[in-house]
Amino acid sequence: MSLTVDQQKQAAARAAIDYIENDWVVGVGTGSTANHFIDALATIKDRIDGAVASSEASAQRLKAHGIRVFELTAVGELPIYVDGADEINANLQMIKGGGAALTREKIVAQCADKFICIADESKLVRVLGQFPLPVEVIPMARSLVGRAMVKLGGHPAWREDCVTDNGNWIIDVHGLTIDEPIKLETAINQIPGVVTNGIFALRPADVLLLGKTSGVEVFKNPASAR
Ligand SMILES: O=C[C@H](O)[C@H](O)[C@H](O)COP(=O)(O)O
């Protein structure tokens, strides 16, 4: 058996189904790996109550499968959140937002008791930052935030063709070596006009289901009690 990258994503997504208990409302992420998870969730839709989506795209896909989609405000807390990542390190800290859904993803993840990251093996890195760091900004703050990112050692690029589900813009910051993810996540979020940035270190994943060419490997966050 030698799984392709897409098969690795699908295998990780299917493995996440084992963590879903009856009558749960499931927090659902965004992206190609999360799409595999939504498709897998459809196979057990009769034993769950529904889902909370982290993007309009995921909400549409869930609804197309006949899965009930709740507003987060109607549910409050969630037992679980399942999502992909652009990069993840050994502490299960991540870069997310390649699909511009980072802010809603961070909000839904924060409401979840357990965060399961599903990813193909290319996403596992030693140090975060090879993938350009997405930062969601209020449009009028784009230049201000860009200059601040240069001071932090990055090379910002405006994702010109992108408006987020929240009506904001994305700056992708290249050239960062993120040795201290919590520190940088916190620092960037202090810049006026930043909605949030794509470092998920203050709230890392609890479990990583990593699809590899040989199958799925499970990593547990040693710092997590969940
Ligand atoms: O905004 C998008 C999300 O953070 C995704 O989870 C991330 O980009 C990974 O996407 P994919 O599963 O397509 O690699």
DSSP secondary-structure letter at 178? B
Whether 222 has a pLDDT exceeding 90, the answer reads no
The CATH homologous superfamily of the domain defined by 133-197 = ACT domain (3.30.70.260)
Any atom of ligand 1 within 6 Å of the Cβ of 30? yes
Whether 171 has a pLDDT exceeding 90, the answer reads yes
Segments making up each domain of the chain, as ranges? 5-125+202-220, 133-197
In the reported structure, the alpha carbon of residue 99 is separated from the centroid of ligand 1 by a whole-number distance in angstroms of 5
Structure-token pair, residue 150: 């240069």
pLDDT of residue 39: 98
Q: Which fold is adopted by the domain 5-125+202-220?
A: Rossmann fold (3.40.50)
Q: How confident is the model at residue 224 (pLDDT cuts 50, 70, 90)?
A: confident
Any atom of ligand 1 within 6 Å of the Cβ of 185? no
% pLDDT > 70, the chain: 99
pLDDT of residue 57: 98
Any atom of ligand 1 within 6 Å of the Cβ of 102? yes
pLDDT of residue 18: 98
Q: Which of 15, 47, 19, 60 is nearest to 33 (CA)?
A: 15
pLDDT of residue 82: 98
In the reported structure, the alpha carbon of residue 64 is separated from the centroid of ligand 1 by a whole-number distance in angstroms of 20
- Indicate the pTM of the whole model: 0.97
The ipTM assigned to this model is: 0.97
In the reported structure, the alpha carbon of residue 35 is separated from the centroid of ligand 1 by a whole-number distance in angstroms of 10
pLDDT of residue 62: 98
Q: How confident is the model at residue 33 (pLDDT cuts 50, 70, 90)?
A: very high
Structure-token pair, residue 101: 């859904």
